[in-house]
């Protein structure tokens, strides 16, 4: 399980090393570190880490240990793998319904419409979907589009 | 090896020409190779001593080959004579009941005659029945020309991917729709105009729905699934959407995001034929009348084949099947 952690470190030597110890101790595997030394604020430097933990519990334990040694946690959230999908719909579909029913799990990050008033209205959607919900989401989109009598064209 | 050819249309005639032109190569594989019979819907030519391939390659109709023509004679008769070792079957495709090809193939296999066919119909209707019948009678049944014309997909898998498990196949299996969609993509023409052009170039079947509604591509998907992925599927199992509703606007929007729209046959959990977005830098993204097949396997991972999906090039596949039968059935000296 990957987590995105942002911590605030005092702008003094040795602080980063101190903060990494509880992570390693609790089974975390560090995937990336961004240490923003250039923008300290009020004597603190933000550090962003992506860490792979064996479970949520290991992550929770790490947060507690970090608190104990006085490291401030700014953000901790699970990183969800997402897929970026382009889909094209042809037909005069009810956009609102497609978004509400067909794309419940997806985030729409872009769209483009051409000939919106004709019976061959054409809509291109750029969506982001958590990878584990991809099949379900595309199936939903297809079902809703079909019930609206529009053609949905998905990537191979 | 004694060969009979059933169907003397485009493929049958081109095959006779290829036999004639490459007779040395063929006789090198099997010195006794000869064509002893050829039939069409009206009659047949037959000569146990072998027909003259040069003469045969210059006739348009069988009746023009004087002396040996039997008007009104049927294909069943030349099968029943029992002198043939191999039948090449190239009658028109019929996906409703597979006839007349299906009965000819069954009759030949029951007589222990190996079969090479370019006709999808019998395989779509009765794949399992025919392959079991071939096995039972110790015969080869090869059909390379039925899917993607000259592209050697079955031979490749049979010979070169013997230890792989095929997990998924995606492909452009219909050249006519690829031509139409390519015209729309490159020239910005409408679907109607591109279809008209395809018709004028003789690329469509008499009934264009066979191509544009994905019927042809679905038949090929059925054969691929049964032959290469050990499925037991029928035409009705394919979820099918054609390209009639693919508009110029849809293609332009796709193009802006670096996709082309292609009619794609997909065989994985489900079998589907539908228009799909293909990234323009994907190996499947071929244009014009070309076909492409992308195979995903456990060991080799990904292999893509590209080539001519119909027309004269198909003879390459049929001839290779004929040579394969000769080599694999030759008795060891
Ligand atoms: N053409 C291609 O590019 C291509 C590519 C791949 C696969 N194929 C497949 O290969 C097969 C042959 O195609 P083609 O283009 O050669 O077709 P074609 O030109 O229509 O020729 C079909 C031949 O079959 C004969 N025939 C019809 N009914 C018969 C019967 N009951 N007994 C014996 N012969 C019979 C026809 O005889 P008559 O002339 O007397 O009617 C004709 O000679 C088709 O299944 C096709 O789908 C074709």
Pocket of ligand 1 contains residue B12 by CB under 6 Å: yes
Cβ-Cβ contacts under 8 Å for B154 (sequence gap 6 or more): B142, B143, B144, B147, B227, B228
Q: Are B37 and B4 in contact (CB under 8 A)?
A: yes
Q: Is A120 at the interface with chain B, CB within 8 A?
A: yes
- Nearest-Å Rg of the Cα atoms of chain B is 20
Pocket of ligand 1 contains residue B9 by CB under 6 Å: yes
Pocket of ligand 1 contains residue B42 by CB under 6 Å: yes
Distance B17 CA to ligand 1 centre (A): 16
Inter-chain contact B275–A151, Cβ cutoff 8 Å? yes
Looking at chain A, the number of H-run helices and the number of E-run strands are 4, 8
Q: The domain that contains B103 carries what CATH number? A: 3.40.50.720
Tell me the whole-structure pTM to 2 decimals.
0.89
The CATH architecture of the domain made up of A82-153 is: 2-Layer Sandwich (3.30)
Inter-chain contact B277–A151, Cβ cutoff 8 Å? no
Inter-chain contact A151–B241, Cβ cutoff 8 Å? yes
b/e burial code for range B64-83 (CB count within 10 A of at least 16 → b) = ebeebbbeebbbeebbeeee
Range of the domain at B16: 2-150+313-329
Nearest to A122 among B247, B279, B284 (CB): B247
Proportion of chain A in helix, strand, coil states, percent, rounded to 5 = 30, 40, 30
Instruction: Specify whether B136 is catalytic.
Output: no
Task: Judge whether B282 lies within some domain.
Answer: yes
Which ipTM was obtained for this model?
A: 0.89
Q: Is B245 at the interface with chain A, CB within 8 A?
A: yes
Min Cα–Cα distance to chain B from A119, Å = 11
Q: Is B66 at the interface with chain A, CB within 8 A?
A: no
Q: Are residues B116 and B228 in the same domain?
A: no
Q: The domain that contains B255 carries what CATH number? A: 3.30.360.10
Residue whose CA lies nearest to ligand 1 atom number 40: B41
Q: Is B253 at the interface with chain A, CB within 8 A?
A: yes
Counting ligand 1 atoms within 8 A of each CB, the residue from B11, B151, B152 with the most, and so the one to mutate, is: B11
Look at chain B and report how many structural domains it folds into.
2
Cα(B238)–Cα(B263) distance, integer angstroms: 14
The CATH number for A2-79, chosen from 2.30.40.10, 3.30.70.260, 3.40.50.300, 3.10.580.10, is 3.30.70.260
Reading chain B (333 residues) residue by residue, the pLDDT tens digits are 999 999 999 999 999 999 999 999 999 999 999 999 999 999 999 999 999 999 999 999 999 998 899 999 999 999 999 999 999 999 999 999 999 999 999 999 999 999 999 999 999 999 999 999 999 999 999 999 999 999 999 999 999 999 999 999 999 999 999 999 999 999 999 999 999 999 999 998 888 999 999 999 999 999 999 999 999 999 999 999 999 999 999 999 999 999 999 999 999 999 999 999 999 999 999 999 999 999 999 999 999 999 999 999 999 999 999 999 999 998 766
Q: Are residues B19 and B128 in the same domain?
A: yes
Cα angle: A8, vertex A14, A15; to 5 degrees:
15
B213 φ, ψ (degrees, to nearest 5): -95, 10
């Amino acid at each position: 399980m990957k987590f995105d952690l942002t911590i605030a470190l005092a702008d003094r030597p040795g602080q980063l090393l101190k903060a990494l110890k509880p992570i390693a101790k609790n089974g975390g595997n560090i995937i990336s570190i961004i240490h923003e030394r250039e923008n300290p604020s009020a004597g603190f430097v933000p550090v962003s880490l992506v860490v792979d933990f064996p479970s949520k519990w290991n992550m929770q334990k790490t947060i507690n240990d970090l608190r104990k040694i006085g490291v401030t946690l700014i953000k901790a959230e699970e990183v969800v793998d997402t897929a970026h999908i382009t889909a094209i719909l042809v037909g005069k579909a009810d956009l609102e319904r497609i978004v509400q029913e067909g794309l419940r799990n997806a985030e729409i990050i872009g769209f483009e419409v051409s000939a919106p008033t004709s019976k061959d209205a054409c809509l291109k959607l750029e969506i982001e979907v958590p990878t584990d919900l991809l099949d379900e989401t595309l199936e939903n989109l297809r079902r809703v589009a079909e019930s609206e009598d529009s053609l949905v064209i998905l990537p191979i | 090896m004694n060969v009979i050819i059933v169907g003397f249309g485009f493929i049958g005639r081109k095959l006779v020409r290829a036999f004639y032109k490459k007779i040395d190569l063929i006789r090198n594989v099997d010195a006794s190779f000869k064509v002893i019979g050829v039939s069409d819907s009206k009659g047949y030519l037959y000569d146990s001593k072998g027909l003259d391939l040069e003469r045969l390659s210059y006739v348009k109709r069988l009746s023009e080959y004087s002396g040996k023509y039997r008007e009104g004679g049927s294909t069943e008769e030349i099968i029943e004579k029992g002198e043939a070792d191999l039948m090449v079957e190239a009658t028109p495709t019929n996906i409703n009941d597979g006839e007349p090809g299906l009965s000819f193939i069954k009759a030949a296999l029951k007589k222990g005659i190996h079969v090479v066919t370019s006709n999808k119909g019998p395989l779509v209707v009765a794949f399992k029945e025919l392959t079991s019948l071939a096995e039972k009678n110790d015969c080869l049944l090869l059909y390379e020309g039925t899917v993607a014309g000259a592209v050697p997909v079955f031979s490749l898998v049979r010979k070169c991917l013997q230890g792989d498990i095929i997990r998924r196949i995606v492909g452009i299996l219909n050249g006519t729709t690829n031509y139409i969609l390519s015209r729309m993509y490159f020239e910005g023409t409408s679907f109607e105009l591109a279809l008209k052009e395809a018709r004028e170039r003789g690329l469509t079947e008499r009934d264009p729905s066979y191509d544009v509604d994905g019927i042809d591509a679905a038949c090929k998907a059925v054969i691929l699934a049964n032959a290469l992925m050990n499925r037991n599927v029928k035409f009705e199992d394919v979820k099918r959407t054609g390209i009639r509703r693919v508009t110029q606007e849809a293609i332009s929007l796709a193009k802006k995001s670096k996709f082309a729209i292609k009619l794609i046959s997909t065989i994985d959990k489900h079998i589907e034929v539908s228009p799909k977005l293909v990234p323009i830098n994907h190996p499947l993204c071929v244009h014009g009348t070309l076909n492409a097949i992308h195979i995903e396997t456990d060991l080799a991972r990904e292999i893509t084949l590209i080539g001519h999906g119909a027309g004269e090039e198909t003879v390459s596949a049929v001839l290779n099947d004929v040579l394969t039968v000769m080599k694999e059935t030759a008795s060891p000296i």
